[in-house]
Amino acid sequence: MGLKLSNNARSLLSASVTAAETVVRVRAGHGSRFPTLTDPDDWFPLALENELGEIEYLRCIGRSGDALTVRRGQEGSQPLAYTAGDAIELRLTALATQELMGSGGVVLPAASVSAGVLGTA
């Protein structure tokens, strides 16, 4: 499938992460706010932001409950350490937009529209 999106997918980190960690944890119960990834090619864009306004872009490639498996330092950003309570959210990034345009746009199955989830064909 590829790129997955959902509305209002945001949370706070439940635990601090180093710049090298590839699993980030969101607040308890908040994992369900983010898209379900069922295909090995599924992913969604994330942004981590600390109180200083430093932002790192990530690619989430797996979600199990409140644990998100990610690729760090995407779209020219640098991996940084973040502390519990820093913001994490799904943001439509430049690369995600390019992928949507390259795939011919977004397909909205009726069930996805009612659930507020977008998927690509």
Band of the pLDDT at 105, cuts 50, 70, 90? low
Is 92 part of any domain?
yes
Amino acid letter at 97? T
Is 85 part of any domain?
yes
pLDDT digit string (tens) for 58-101?
999 999 999 999 999 999 999 999 999 999 999 988 888 888 78
| Reported pTM | 0.81
Residue by residue, DSSP assigns 27-68 as STT-GGGSPP--STT-BEEEEEE-TT--EEEEEEEEEETTEE
Is 32 part of any domain?
yes
Domain around 15: 4-102
Is 25 part of any domain?
yes
Among candidate residues 89, 88, 94, the one with its CA nearest the CA of residue 74: 94
pLDDT digit string (tens) for 15-64?
999 999 999 999 999 999 999 999 999 999 999 999 999 999 999 999 99
Is 120 part of any domain?
no
Query: What integer pLDDT is reported at residue 109 of this predicted model?
Result: 45
Domain tally, the chain: 1
